Structure 1
Amino acid sequence: MSWLRALRETARSGLTVERRRLAPLVAARGALGLALVVGFSLAFFGPAVAASSAFGAFQAAIATFQRSWRPRPTLALASGASLAVSTFLGYLTGAHTLLFVALLVLWTFLSGLAWAVGPTAGLIASSNVAIMLVTVTLPTSVATAAGHAAVIFAGGVVQAALVVLLPVRPWGAQRDALADALAAEADYARRLRHDPVASFDPVPLMTARSAAAVTRWQARRRPAELHGPRRLAERIRPVLASLADPAVGAPAEGPQRDRVRELLAAAGEVLDAAAHAVRHGAPVRLPPAAVAALRTPDTGTILSDRSHRAALRLAALLGDVVETAEPRTETGRGPADPSAPRTRPTLLRLLPLVVARVRAEVRPGSAVLRHALRVSAVTAAGYLLGLVLPFGHGYWAPMTSVMVMRPDFSQTYSRSVARFGGTLVGVGLASAVVQTAHPGTYLSAGLAVLCAFGMYLLMRTGYAVSQVCVAAYVVLLLGMEGSGVTQTVRDRILLTLLGGLLAMLSYAVYPAWETPRLRGRLADWLTASGRYAAAVAARYADPAGPGSPDVREALLSARAARVAWQDALARATHEPVRHRGLSHAAAEGAGHAIAEFGRAAMLLEAHLPEHGAPPLPAAAGLAEALGEATERGAKAVRERNAPAWDDLRATVAAWETEVTDPLLRKAARLLLAALDDLSAALADT
């Protein structure tokens, strides 16, 4: 993709308003907390303290909107505390330029590394730096700095208290994640009716699994219906695939296929009903026709032995889903989830894990490390330029840079364009109101709260739209102190443009392109998929039941590798660089081949032998061959060679003579065919 086209695509994505579900009650709660903090501070301490407390409450409310599974009060408190520490240190060094620049570089570098932990931590850390740049101009003494830091933290406390006192759809994020996973399974069942080898995106299941991890405080309060359906949905997926696939299930046409289509349609309706019940906390309302289809007594006379067993297992799993999705008054573990819930460490216990994850990114070639170096250099340069240029309000340039810069190219460029456009409109509107209405201190504060409400309401509909409200909010908030509106408009627009240009220029000078790393991502996915297939095959040699921990862990690793590949491929699509050995067509073909390899392994997993079943010694050789072949294949992919599967081909040929089960023979052929397709896709690159 050329630079011009990349700029056009990223600009369009940044300025596009995404129509998503609004949350007016949550937005009103955040605005209420901001209004309480600002009003109290104005009444007892004055405009300067009110501005500091407003920033603390403003960011704490934003933290509660982030896609995180931690309790919302915890997010608000963590945001308020981290911002208080950041601003206090900024206050202490603000009067000394060199010392403050050194702190700014260090703090920005650490905020860049925070993206290794996740987007929520990265956003909060970046916001801390941006707000520190604004608020350090207010106090001058240590005591005053401590007071301002205290009111900033108090803003976070108020927002956390409001979340507890005024709950809005509690457990809503977890309900949505689980409902999305069930709905994805329902859609998969319907697609299998028309395409028996349809692919399945594991992201909803991975999201639901992440949402299921709870702290001890959450575990005592989680609704019972949020326990079992996720595990059941994961067990249903391979059963659906094995029932639909003509290679191991019913023939492609005929009475058996018609009955399979009927069962798949019924499964989709039942899963949709369970998803609706979980999302809204309502009773499950099952369509009578779907229930009748699943209970048809002549299924056993129509389907073959293996397909019939899959149909019976599907009906049993769907019955468990319906039972566990029913809302109940009790909390804690549900009857279909007897194991202990997945635990999420507290923030204090999370610190060692955070340090370990950050240290893992401090290495050559890390995109997160490049981002940290890039954003710290740009922020320092923008701050120094703001001091030198005769504009005043020099912090607008570095504040813009640190807020728009992300570890990947697409988000940085789209946010730069969207922020400047939103800033221009927001500052223009706010300045027009101030110049024509001449609001006083309290009216300016009220208008600022109103703008904050608009930002909370629209922050999920497009970055540019939210920036209009943010720009107006800052202008009105600074207007409480009587800051020159004309100067603020002119300087902020010019310096915002400078900060955006510095951010975009830094990515051109010191990029972290995803395109050259695509082969490595593909190789990682191949390796993880090979380990999953090998773990499944090994269970036939040593039966341990369908809940084998090593199979489960291998499956999760394969899913994570697949999502990493898909994310990398999506980012590379918007980068203005050549494919460097992996064209778009080759990437699409290779991805499809590995997905088919994983699907073949999933078919084997759907029919794992139970405890005590006779072992199949030949499966041990197949497992070893799968692991070794995919390891060598991954090495060939990284070295830009087409992998060969001669050793695995010989093992599969021997497997055909030693194994009599048609399912196992067909699955082995499917695994080899998928790897051959991978070699064909990479042959011409």
Structure 2
Amino acid sequence: MSWLQALKDTARSGLTVERKRLEPLVAARAALGLALVVGCALYFFGPAVAASSAFGAFQAALATFQRSWRTRPVLALASGASLAVTTFVGYLTGSHEVLFVALLALWTFLAGMAWAIGPTAGMIASSNVAIMLVTVTLPTSVAAAAGHAAMIMVGGVVQAALIVLLPVRRWGAQRDALADALAAEADYARRLRHDPIAPFDPEPLMNARSAAAVTPRQARRRPAELHGTRGLAERIRPVLASLADPALGVPTEGEERDRVRELLAAAASTLDAAARAVRKGEPVIMSPAATAVLAVPREGAVLTGPARRAESRLITLLRDVVETARGSGTTNTRRRTPETDDSPQHLTAVRVAQEAARKAARKIARHPEHRADPHDHLHRPTVLELVPVALRAMRAELRRDSPVLRHALRVSAVSATSYAVGASLPLGHGYWAPMAAVMVMRPDFSQTYSRAVARFGGTLLGVTLASVLVQLTHPDTRLSAAIAIGCAFLMFLLLRTGYAVTQVCVAAYVVFLLGMGGLQWTQTVPERIVLTLAGGLLAMVAYAVYPAWETPRLRTRLADWLVADGRYASAVLQRYADPAGAPGDAVRETLLATRQSRIAWQDALERAANEPVRHRGLSRSAADEAPDALAQLARVAMLMEAHLPSRDTHPVPAAAALAEALRTDVDAAAKAVRERRTPKWDAYRAALKAWDTGDTTGDNKVVRKGAGLLLEALDELSDALDSEGPRPKGSAALTTT
């Protein structure tokens, strides 16, 4: 992509306004916290302290809107405390310009490195530096600076307290993540009815897993329906795929296929009902058709062999989902709906859930060690536990090729340079230039350039509207504060719609907030426009001079995905080779690594698509075809996982040789992909060819067919990366054995 086209695309992206679901109650609560802090500070301490406390409350509220699974009060407190410390330290060095610039460079470097911890930490750290550039100009003494820092901290405390006192849909984000995962699987089941090899995006399951990680305190307070449903959803997905796929399932037509379609339809209906129950906190109401399909008598079974085993697993898992999600709506209040609590379908669903509960109780009675442990959960580190984790993450990025390190160096240099530029111009308030640069700079090209365009456009429109409003109303201190709070409310409300929209509100907010302190709009508007443009241009130039392009790293991302897929398939084969001795969590861990690698590839490909860089070593066709082959490789391993043998099953000896050969070939192939060579699968092909077929029933049949399908996927990957053209037909003849 040319630079001109890249600039057009990023500018269009930055100015795009999206339709998003608004959260007026959450926005009103954040604006209320801001109003309380500003009003009290204005009444007791005056406009200057009110302005600094307003920045603290504003930043704390903004932090709670970030996409983070950590509790909102913690985010508000962390944001307020860090901004207070940043402001106080900044003021102590503010009278020594050289020392302040050095501190600014160091602070922005650390803020840039904070992106190694995650987007939320990076955003909060960057915003702290940007706001500090304004707040350090408000105090007049060290004592006053300490007072301003204390009021900034008070702003964070007030926002945290309001979240606790005025809760809006507790655990709402976690409920939505789990419901989205269930709904995605329901959609997957429906698509499998018509396309037995339909693809599935694992991102909703990964989001649900991230949302399920909690601290010990959260684990004790989490609603019952959020405890086990995600794990059941994870186990349902491979069973759905194994039922639908004709390679390891049933023929494409006939009575068995009709039964599979009925099961898939019932699964979709049940999962949708569970998703609604989890999202809205209502009872699970199953449809009569789904209940009938899932209650088919054992003696009337149509499916046989592995397909019958998958059917039994699916029915059991769906019943467990109903039982687990049932906790979201169990109250003594009877709700009358078109399908009331007395409806036959609801009574049947209740009986299904009660039977599942009785089975679980009998299992616990026989095996007390299976009793649920309240401390058995995905652990999320507390704030104190996060400190060493954050330091390790930042230390891991201290390498030359790290995009995070490059971003930290870029933003540090640009902040110091733009501060010097702003100070040298005869405009005053030179901090607007570094403030704009710090806020728009991100570790990737697309976000940096799109945010630079959006910030300048939003600032221009926002200050223009604010200037017109000032001319019409001539507001005094109190009216300026009220209008500033109204602008903040609009920003909180429209935060998800686009960066340009929020910048319109922020620009107007700052004009009225500084006007509350006595600054006339004519003293801030012209210089802010010029300095915002200067800071944005410096940020864009810095990325062009010292970039961190994703395009040249696409082969490395692809190789990482290949390694993850290969280890997943090897772990599945090893389980067949040694059902009793294979590590119980090996398959699960490698599956998660596969999903993370796939999402990392998709993110990298999306970032690379907007970069003004030619594809180096990976053609556009290879970037389209190779991921399909890797997705097929993981899919075949998942199909085999759906039929994993129990611990007391007889092993499949040939699977051990296949697993070892696959590990060997994958490690060598990953190196070949990074070095722009075509990967080979000689060891795995030889192991498959040397397998004496012998018994072709049961697990032997599953492994044999699955191993052949794995080779097909590997050959497709080689074809996609082979610069000499496609392989001759028949290279995967063994797969039909």
Q: State the TM-score bracket (shorter-chain normalisation).
A: over 0.9
Pairs aligned (count): 683
Provide the rounded CA distance (Å) in 2 between the counterparts of 1:622 and 1:648.
Answer: 6
Secondary structure in 2 aligned to 1:139?
coil
Q: Deviations over 1:499-526 (max 9, x none)?
A: 1111111111111000000000000010
Provide the rounded CA distance (Å) in 2 between the counterparts of 1:21 and 1:564.
Answer: 27
Aligned partner of 2:457 in structure 1 is 421
User: Of the candidates 714, 718, 724, which is equivalent to residue 679 of structure 1?
Assistant: 718
Provide the rounded CA distance (Å) in 2 between the counterparts of 1:254 and 1:613.
Answer: 31
Shift of 1:14: 1.4
User: Of the candidates 499, 511, 517, which is equivalent to residue 547 of structure 2?
Assistant: 511
Shift of 1:17: 1.3
The 5-angstrom pairing of residues 256-405 of structure 1 reads 256-297=256-297, 301-327=301-327, 338=372, 340-405=376-441
Shift of 1:168: 0.2
User: Of the candidates 633, 655, 658, which is equivalent to residue 597 of structure 1?
Assistant: 633
Over 3 Å counting, the alpha-carbon distance change for 1:656 and 1:246 in structure 2 is: farther
Provide the rounded CA distance (Å) in 2 between the counterparts of 1:168 and 1:544.
Answer: 49
Secondary structure in 1 aligned to 2:693?
helix
Aligned partner of 1:36 in structure 2 is 36
Provide the rounded CA distance (Å) in 1 between the counterparts of 2:503 and 2:278.
Answer: 34
The 5-angstrom pairing of residues 2-151 of structure 1 reads 2-151=2-151
Shift of 1:293: 2.2
Q: Quick one: which amino acid aligns to residue 574 of structure 1?
A: N
Shift of 1:327: 2.6
Q: Is residue 114–residue 121 contact of structure 1 (8 Å, CA) maintained in 2?
A: yes
Q: Quick one: which amino acid aligns to residue 145 of structure 1?
A: A
Over 3 Å counting, the alpha-carbon distance change for 1:16 and 1:659 in structure 2 is: farther
Secondary structure in 2 aligned to 1:543?
coil
Q: CA RMSD, aligned part only?
A: 1.7
Shift of 1:617: 2.0
Over 3 Å counting, the alpha-carbon distance change for 1:98 and 1:337 in structure 2 is: farther
Shift of 1:47: 0.4
Q: Deviations over 1:99-148 (max 9, x none)?
A: 10000000000000000100000000000000001111111321111111
Q: Is residue 545–residue 608 contact of structure 1 (8 Å, CA) maintained in 2?
A: no
Shift of 1:406: 0.5
Q: Quick one: which amino acid aligns to residue 577 of structure 1?
A: V
User: Of the candidates 567, 571, 580, which is equivalent to residue 535 of structure 1?
Assistant: 571
- State, as a whole percentage, how many aligned pairs show the same letter: 70
- For the pair 1:563 / 2:599, whether they are aligned, the reply is yes
The 5-angstrom pairing of residues 362-511 of structure 1 reads 362-511=398-547
Shift of 1:399: 0.5
Over 3 Å counting, the alpha-carbon distance change for 1:659 and 1:115 in structure 2 is: farther
Provide the rounded CA distance (Å) in 2 between the counterparts of 1:91 and 1:337.
Answer: 56
Higher mean alpha-carbon deviation, 625-634 vs 11-20, is at 11-20
Q: Is residue 188–residue 198 contact of structure 1 (8 Å, CA) maintained in 2?
A: yes
Shift of 1:466: 0.7
Provide the rounded CA distance (Å) in 2 between the counterparts of 1:313 and 1:545.
Answer: 23
Shift of 1:604: 1.1
Secondary structure in 2 aligned to 1:641?
coil
Shift of 1:337: 8.9
Q: Is residue 192–residue 264 contact of structure 1 (8 Å, CA) maintained in 2?
A: yes
Q: Deviations over 1:68-110 (max 9, x none)?
A: 1111111100000000011111111111110100000000000
User: Of the candidates 642, 663, 666, which is equivalent to residue 705 of structure 2?
Assistant: 666
Provide the rounded CA distance (Å) in 2 between the counterparts of 1:666 and 1:541.
Answer: 15
Q: Deviations over 1:240-299 (max 9, x none)?
A: 110011000011122222221221111111101101110111111111112212223489
Q: Is residue 105–residue 415 contact of structure 2 (8 Å, CA) maintained in 1?
A: yes
Shift of 1:674: 0.3
Aligned partner of 2:162 in structure 1 is 162
Aligned partner of 1:238 in structure 2 is 238
Over 3 Å counting, the alpha-carbon distance change for 1:545 and 1:63 in structure 2 is: farther
Shift of 1:330: 10
Provide the rounded CA distance (Å) in 2 between the counterparts of 1:586 and 1:123.
Answer: 35
Q: Quick one: which amino acid aligns to residue 498 of structure 1?
A: A
Q: Quick one: which amino acid aligns to residue 372 of structure 2?
A: P
Secondary structure in 2 aligned to 1:657?
coil
Aligned partner of 1:250 in structure 2 is 250
Shift of 1:544: 4.2
Unmatched tracts of structure 1, length 5 or more:
none
Provide the rounded CA distance (Å) in 1 between the counterparts of 2:480 and 2:444.
Answer: 37
Q: Quick one: which amino acid aligns to residue 288 of structure 2?
A: P
Q: Is residue 664–residue 683 contact of structure 2 (8 Å, CA) maintained in 1?
A: no
Aligned partner of 2:559 in structure 1 is 523
Aligned partner of 2:679 in structure 1 is 643
Secondary structure in 2 aligned to 1:68?
coil
Provide the rounded CA distance (Å) in 2 between the counterparts of 1:611 and 1:322.
Answer: 28
Shift of 1:441: 0.3
Secondary structure in 1 aligned to 2:130?
helix
Q: Is residue 546–residue 609 contact of structure 1 (8 Å, CA) maintained in 2?
A: no
Higher mean alpha-carbon deviation, 298-307 vs 178-187, is at 298-307
Provide the rounded CA distance (Å) in 2 between the counterparts of 1:11 and 1:337.
Answer: 56
Q: Deviations over 1:471-519 (max 9, x none)?
A: 0000000001111211211000111111111111111111100000000
Higher mean alpha-carbon deviation, 606-615 vs 672-681, is at 606-615
Q: Quick one: which amino acid aligns to residue 338 of structure 1?
A: A
Q: Is residue 94–residue 136 contact of structure 1 (8 Å, CA) maintained in 2?
A: yes
Q: Deviations over 1:135-185 (max 9, x none)?
A: 111113211111110000000000000000000001000001101111111
User: Of the candidates 552, 555, 571, which is equivalent to residue 588 of structure 2?
Assistant: 552
Q: Is residue 422–residue 465 contact of structure 1 (8 Å, CA) maintained in 2?
A: yes
Over 3 Å counting, the alpha-carbon distance change for 1:20 and 1:656 in structure 2 is: farther
Provide the rounded CA distance (Å) in 2 between the counterparts of 1:247 and 1:234.
Answer: 22
Over 3 Å counting, the alpha-carbon distance change for 1:640 and 1:130 in structure 2 is: same
Provide the rounded CA distance (Å) in 1 between the counterparts of 2:193 and 2:242.
Answer: 12
Q: Is residue 77–residue 157 contact of structure 2 (8 Å, CA) maintained in 1?
A: yes
Higher mean alpha-carbon deviation, 14-23 vs 53-62, is at 14-23
Shift of 1:654: 2.2
Q: Quick one: which amino acid aligns to residue 465 of structure 1?
A: V
Shift of 1:304: 2.9
Secondary structure in 1 aligned to 2:618?
coil
Q: Is residue 281–residue 328 contact of structure 2 (8 Å, CA) maintained in 1?
A: no
Q: Quick one: which amino acid aligns to residue 65 of structure 2?
A: F
Shift of 1:583: 1.6
- For the pair 1:572 / 2:572, whether they are aligned, the reply is no
Q: Is residue 427–residue 475 contact of structure 1 (8 Å, CA) maintained in 2?
A: yes
Over 3 Å counting, the alpha-carbon distance change for 1:659 and 1:134 in structure 2 is: farther
Q: Deviations over 1:315-374 (max 9, x none)?
A: 11001001101135999xx97993511121111111011000000000010000000001
Provide the rounded CA distance (Å) in 1 between the counterparts of 2:254 and 2:625.
Answer: 31
Provide the rounded CA distance (Å) in 2 between the counterparts of 1:144 and 1:548.
Answer: 61
Provide the rounded CA distance (Å) in 1 between the counterparts of 2:415 and 2:219.
Answer: 42
Over 3 Å counting, the alpha-carbon distance change for 1:635 and 1:454 in structure 2 is: same
